[in-house]
A and B are shown apart, each in its own frame.
Chain A
Amino acid sequence: MSEPLLQVNNLAVSYHGYAGEVKSVRGVTFDVQRGETLAVVGESGCGKSVTAKTIMRLIQTPPAEIKEGSEVLFDGEDVLKFDKKRLAQYRGGEAAIIFQDALAALNPTMTVGKQICENLLHHSKMSKKEAMEKAVDLLRMVGIPQPERRVKQYPHEFSGGMRQRVMIAIAFANSPKLLIADEPTTALDVTIQAQIMDLIKDWQKEQGASVILITHDLGVVANIARRIVVMYAGKIVERGESGVIFRTPRHPYTNALLEAVPRLDLKNKQVLASIEGTPPDLLNPPAGCPFCTRCKYCMEICCQEEPPVVTFEEGHEASCWLYSLEHPCEDAPFTWEGERK
């Protein structure tokens, strides 16, 4: 396999607040291959959006602090060391991001056409007229009816799904190599969600670009992602190919997440397998495994020492003590061979 498009090495980000240091991302390492879709899955507050924003260099320092030793290599260059000029080329040109809340991300005082043109004119030499024509084409591409009329309208005149399409048009404008979609469909209805996901999928196929899809919804991921990274409390707890993660999740958190979603084959009003408790406070993250306070299979060692990363097969890794002790907790959800007990 060729060199990956993006390599995130040991990324750690903290926020300094009145209460102390919030360790939002604590040593995250992953890569994105060219032309693949990687999904980052986790609950709110697990650091997935902070990771995305750091890749785009969109977090403010201070109050945030990117720790020494963190690296974000894009095509071999460290994004964290980019100067202003290089950064301007990178953002919106080579890499683009779609946010969850399109209404907050768009400028309410500018027509959507102007907002698309802004990105186009910044990155390539063309006249305003050409840019506006391109903007109309882009809106047509993302499935907005009557684009000639719509370019002259303001974000408040669009519905939620249409606004998200405008955001996508801005992101697509310069045909980026990397697209980060940060919960692109969370605020949308299921039918619109399906349309938006199809749009991103088709575009990716056509362009051969890489996509990082950040979401909390495992259902959305199943359809689109090739590989999945599961984050919990600022750390990656499991990673692997999407089929493998869904079939044989190794980390108790991944397993519990999959069980907590009501499936259509469950009996009416059957008790759902819930994860008791709440995610840990990142001001004082637990010393051992971050999931130890909520884990059904928690052992003594889990609360004391960080679990080792165990590799099961090519590319499937989980950080859990269950698989590295001679006598692990007996009611573990999976055997070493990966069969569901």
Chain B
Amino acid sequence: MTDKVILDVQHLKKYFELGHHHTLKAVDDVSFQIREGETLGLVGESGCGKTTCGRTCLGMYNKTDGTVLYNGKDVHALKGAELFAFKKEAQMIFQDPYASLNPRMTVSDIVAEGLDVHHMTKNKAERTERIYELLNMVGLNKEHANRFIHEFSGGQRQRIGIARALAMEPKFLVLDEPISALDVSIQAQVVNMLIKLQQEMGLTYLFIAHDLSMVKHISERVGVMYLGSLVEITSSGELYSHPLHPYTQALLSAIPIPDPEIEAQRETARIRLEGEVPSPIDPPPGCKFAGRCKYATERCRQESPSLRDMGGGHYVACFAVEG
């Protein structure tokens, strides 16, 4: 990991106009930075905007406001050759390995699609060679190259998706819930592989997930999102030992731990969240968590808190946190 900032997101907003004067604020003023070789985890419940955030960072969605700088260049202003090069360098791995691979293409065509577009291989022999190399890298072998997607299990499909992304020799990868569709024993395989690839190839990850224990395991820093806003961001160790935001505390307390004794002890101290995540369509002013927060005051319902540095790179957006 170096000190060089590879992705700099400042005040990013992504609104979807729904018509009838309704606006869905999927991402609402989010700022973070990712340094080269680092993994930033982004966690939150479904509908909190973490996927939209990841996609907007890659320029897959147009932004509403704010900036996304990749190596100092505005992602949404790239044109021509620069845009072409960016799309090669920044890749995405999708959540659903069943929906994100074309069932009518063979594995080798899926993996090599980007190679062909970017003319990365000189001839057919080299192309085949590269496909085998990539499959080998993700733990598949060359017999798999001519098969179709329906012949593979979920874990293997996810590996194919990863091979497709790696074919582009990327520097920056957005991993959008890459393991949530997989079984526990297969999750560990894929996560081990992702960590190994990162160390070997010096990749930078934006790891989007809702499984907090896995995010803690793979990330150096973790950001917690709630209803389009980043409520807390800090190193993963700090987040789990000293969560400051009431939402983070509740979220951590809701993770079940596979140990009956610890669970029994936690039972009394557990923070239970009432209700569900409110709709991101035309949200009320103020802190978005105020409706479910037990510390909420009048101020929380009027003003929206912004991220404050609590020291040591621990940022939190909450009025109730002292400091």
B310 contacts the other chain (Cβ, under 8 Å)?
A: no
Q: Which of A231-283 contact B (CB under 8 A)?
A: 242-243, 246, 256-258, 260-264, 266, 268-276, 278
A64 contacts the other chain (Cβ, under 8 Å)?
A: no
| Smallest CB gap from A267: residue in B | B217
B153 contacts the other chain (Cβ, under 8 Å)?
A: yes
Task: Please indicate the chain A residues that have their CB under 8 angstroms from the CB of B236 in the complex.
Answer: 268
B189 contacts the other chain (Cβ, under 8 Å)?
A: yes
With A and B bound together, what is the CA distance between A271 and B218 in angstroms? 10
With A and B bound together, what is the CA distance between A133 and B255 in angstroms? 36
- Chain B, interface residues (CB within 8 Å), range: 35 or more
Whether A261 lies near B237 (C-beta < 8 A) is no
With A and B bound together, what is the CA distance between A218 and B260 in angstroms? 10
B313, chain A: closest CB distance, angstroms? 15
Interface size of A in residues (CB-CB distance below 8 Å):
45
The one of A162, A194, A261 that contacts B213, using a Cβ cutoff of 8 Å: A261
B256 contacts the other chain (Cβ, under 8 Å)?
A: yes
B254 contacts the other chain (Cβ, under 8 Å)?
A: yes
Whether A268 lies near B254 (C-beta < 8 A) is no
A43 contacts the other chain (Cβ, under 8 Å)?
A: yes
Task: Please indicate the chain A residues that have their CB under 8 angstroms from the CB of B257 in the complex.
Answer: 219, 222, 263-264
Whether A216 lies near B259 (C-beta < 8 A) is no
B109 contacts the other chain (Cβ, under 8 Å)?
A: no
Whether A256 lies near B185 (C-beta < 8 A) is yes
Whether A260 lies near B184 (C-beta < 8 A) is yes
Whether B183 lies near A44 (C-beta < 8 A) is yes
| Smallest CB gap from B219: residue in A | A268
Most chain B beta carbons < 10 A, residue from A160, A243, A274: A274
B170, chain A: closest CB distance, angstroms? 20
With A and B bound together, what is the CA distance between A194 and B45 in angstroms? 13
B320 contacts the other chain (Cβ, under 8 Å)?
A: no
Whether B255 lies near A190 (C-beta < 8 A) is yes
Whether A191 lies near B273 (C-beta < 8 A) is yes
A2 contacts the other chain (Cβ, under 8 Å)?
A: no
A290 contacts the other chain (Cβ, under 8 Å)?
A: no
Q: A194-B272, A220-B256 are in contact. Are A262 and B213 (CB under 8 A)?
A: yes
B46 contacts the other chain (Cβ, under 8 Å)?
A: yes
B211, chain A: closest CB distance, angstroms? 8
A190, chain B: closest CB distance, angstroms? 4
With A and B bound together, what is the CA distance between A93 and B237 in angstroms? 49
Q: A190-B210, A191-B45, A194-B254 are in contact. Are A246 and B260 (CB under 8 A)?
A: yes
The one of A257, A260, A269 that contacts B218, using a Cβ cutoff of 8 Å: A269
Whether B187 lies near A260 (C-beta < 8 A) is yes
Q: Could you jot down 20 A-B contacts, CB within 8 Å?
A: A162-B276, A189-B210, A191-B251, A192-B276, A195-B272, A246-B259, A260-B185, A260-B188, A261-B188, A262-B188, A263-B213, A263-B258, A264-B257, A266-B217, A268-B220, A271-B192, A272-B217, A274-B186, A275-B185, A278-B186
5 nearest CB pairs, A to B: A219-B256, A274-B188, A275-B185, A262-B217, A260-B188
- Name B residues whose Cβ lies closer than 8 Å to a Cβ of A: 45-46, 153-156, 183-189, 191-192, 195, 210, 212-214, 216-220, 236-237, 240, 250-251, 254-263, 267, 270, 272-273, 275-277
Known: A246-B258, A268-B219. 18 other contacts (CB 8 A): A43-B183, A189-B210, A191-B45, A219-B255, A222-B256, A222-B260, A222-B262, A222-B263, A223-B256, A260-B187, A261-B258, A266-B217, A271-B192, A271-B195, A272-B188, A274-B186, A275-B188, A278-B156
